[in-house]
Amino acid sequence: MRKNVFLMVMVFFMGVSWPAMALTDYSNQLGYDGLQMARRAGLISREDYVISRLKSRFRPQGEDFGSKSSDGGRGGREITLLLKEAVDYYSTFSAQGREYVDRLLLRPVSTSNEWPWADYFVFYLPETVLTFEPGVSEYPHIGGKYKFWYVTHATPDGEGTVHTVDPAFLYDVVEAFEASYATEVSEMGYTAPLFDADLPDNGGDEKIDVYLMNCGEFGVYGYTVPLNIGSSSTRASYMVVDNDFSEFVTSTKTAEEAMQVTVAHELHHAIQFAINSNTQDWIMEATSTWMESQVYPDIDDNLQYLNGNDGFFYNTDVPLDDDYQWYNSWIWMEYMTIKWGRDSVHDVWGFLETQSNSGLAISNVISQNGSTVKSAFTEFVLKNYSQVGFYDDAAVYDDVTMENAPGQTLDYSGFQTHLVTTTQVYVDHLATAYYKFKPGDRITGENDDSLLIQVYGESGYPLNAAVSVKYTDNSFSEYPLSFDVSNNGYVHVNDFNKTEVNEVVLALVNYSTSPTADDASFWVQGGLGLSISNSENSSSGGCFIESIFGYSN
């Protein structure tokens, strides 16, 4: 699916007549996936990508919202990271691009807040704007620190958007901030969001400002705006939260629940900006999405990023740090939490205080817990297959996608059916490819055999492989392959029979934390009743290959 999108993007750009001015809006032509592919391929500039993505989300009424219905719900929270990117790379933008960014960062309480789209889209709270400042006695964690801006009237802004807030809902939002701050800062020990006293446009004081606005009309839950453009790695911020969340009600989620997880998510972005705003985007989104279930464990809104065609379990061949996986990768934080406790995620952010490389930070935390990236990521890959007995919510998780989706059934009915062979397989960094092998009807408990799987991985890459055996009683056993220094390895699965074994799944793993290790290749072969001794006389494995492919029917 994603390859087809890439081809369409390439065809589009082959026919483009390049404009003389900057900030071309590609959102309508390419859509959400197309913009990502074009960016990844270097076909559009960072500046054009950021502005196109923001334009695709916020448009005057009556215009197509572009990505609103085509991005699987992801865009509803990605505004924060787009604005962060605009601030981070402000100095590299054109004069027109910097003007766009300046306008986007304005506080949304004035008619001067005209966003610089083609016809100056406006998005602001019209007069009369009210404020609520929580007191310490009633709200001990956020009292004296936060200010909430809202309107109770139905006067539209200049674009026709009505931002009315029910006072009862306002207090629900305040309670959500109190609960989120209590968990994330007071209990879990994360750095508190920064005050904005030193900024010229600070809402009148140092308090952290939250604006309740009808961003849900554009498919946006809420977003956090990083401030103080410049070289600083820490930034103050303000937040925008939808005024009623009516657009996000589903059969399994109320408006209040959608609001609560949004507050938990966006508060953590404000925390991240206070720690190191230069940190890589993927770990910011992955941690914020994971944080939703830490504050509100009974709300499963982040399940949408694991299941379905856009979810993690369908796209395990896509690297954890790829922008496609920004939200999906919260499952890695969940793995770390189960393995070493949720303080391990906090420890990652401790390392990120002084450097911005998320891969290095994660490696350091894994090391201080007595493991290696190779071992941990391989176990993560295996647990994503078995799920049961490891993840608390395994019952509602999708299965991981197999490269050979139906699996390969091995039997004695014909020579070719009891061989394991694949073409060359390419695996990117922090990604995996799964293959399934099942015993056929002729292989019963009385007529079983051993299954040999042999893997040849490309030399010089950080590769690994392991198998998970799922038995007919739904239990699992996991076995590593014996890899040598050239990344060649094998494993024997004994008692491979239909009576005891449901399936055997091979995971091909690239555990590098760097994209420079992408497209590492594997070959897989083997079969029933074969012995590794066939290849022990050849360091290249040539005898083994000949012993399989030398036969004929």
Q: Using 50, 70 and 90 to split pLDDT, how confident is the model at 63?
A: low
Tens of pLDDT, residues 182-240: 999 999 999 999 999 988 889 999 999 999 999 998 889 999 999 987 767 899 999 99
Tens of pLDDT, residues 261-292: 999 999 999 999 999 999 999 999 999 999 99
Asked if the model's pLDDT at residue 2 lies above 80, the reply is no
Q: Which domains occur in the chain, in start order?
A: 1-74 (no CATH), 77-278 (no CATH), 306-401 (no CATH), 408-549 (2.60.120.380)
Tens of pLDDT, residues 64-85: 444 333 344 455 678 999 999 9
User: What pLDDT is recorded for position 547?
Assistant: 33
What is the spatial distance between Cα 340 and Cα 335, in angstroms, rounded to a whole number?
Answer: 8
Q: Which residues are within 8 A (CB) of 227 and not within 5 positions of it... i.e. 6 or more apart?
A: 87, 105, 196, 199, 235, 236, 237, 238
Starting at the edge strand found earlier in the chain, the sheet holding 476-480 runs: 408-410, 431-439, 501-510, 463-471, 476-480
3-state secondary structure of 52: helix
At 175, give phi and psi (nearest 5°). Answer: -60, -35
Asked if the model's pLDDT at residue 33 lies above 70, the reply is no
At 28, give phi and psi (nearest 5°). Answer: -70, -35
Burial 91-101 (b: 16+ CB within 10 A, else e): eebeeebbebb
Q: Using 50, 70 and 90 to split pLDDT, how confident is the model at 533?
A: low
Q: Residue 207 has what DSSP assignment?
A: S
What is the spatial distance between Cα 240 and Cα 225, in angstroms, rounded to a whole number?
Answer: 8
Report whether 132 contacts 177 (CB < 8 A): no
Asked if the model's pLDDT at residue 544 lies above 80, the reply is no
Rounded average pLDDT over 14-26: 48
Q: Nearest CA to 32 among 7, 62, 65?
A: 65
In degrees, rounded to 5, the angle at the alpha carbon of residue 502 between the alpha carbons of residues 496 and 508 is: 80
Give the whole-number percent of the chain exceeding pLDDT 70: 84
Asked if the model's pLDDT at residue 22 lies above 90, the reply is no
User: What pLDDT is recorded for position 14?
Assistant: 43
Q: Give this prediction's pTM.
A: 0.89
3-state secondary structure of 189: coil
Tens of pLDDT, residues 89-148: 999 999 988 888 888 888 998 666 666 665 567 789 999 999 999 999 999 999 999 999
Q: How far apart are the first and last CA of the chain?
A: 37
User: What pLDDT is recorded for position 74?
Assistant: 54
Tens of pLDDT, residues 461-518: 999 999 999 999 999 999 989 889 999 999 999 989 999 999 999 999 999 999 999 9
CB atoms within 10 A of CB 363: 17
Report whether 348 contacts 361 (CB < 8 A): yes
Tens of pLDDT, residues 368-415: 999 999 999 999 999 999 999 999 999 999 999 999 999 999 988 776
Q: Using 50, 70 and 90 to split pLDDT, how confident is the model at 454?
A: very high
Q: Which alpha helices (DSSP H) does 182-308 contain, by range?
A: 255-276, 281-295
Give me the count of residues in the chain: 553
Query: 30: alpha, beta or left, given left = phi > 0 and alpha = psi -120 to 50?
Result: alpha
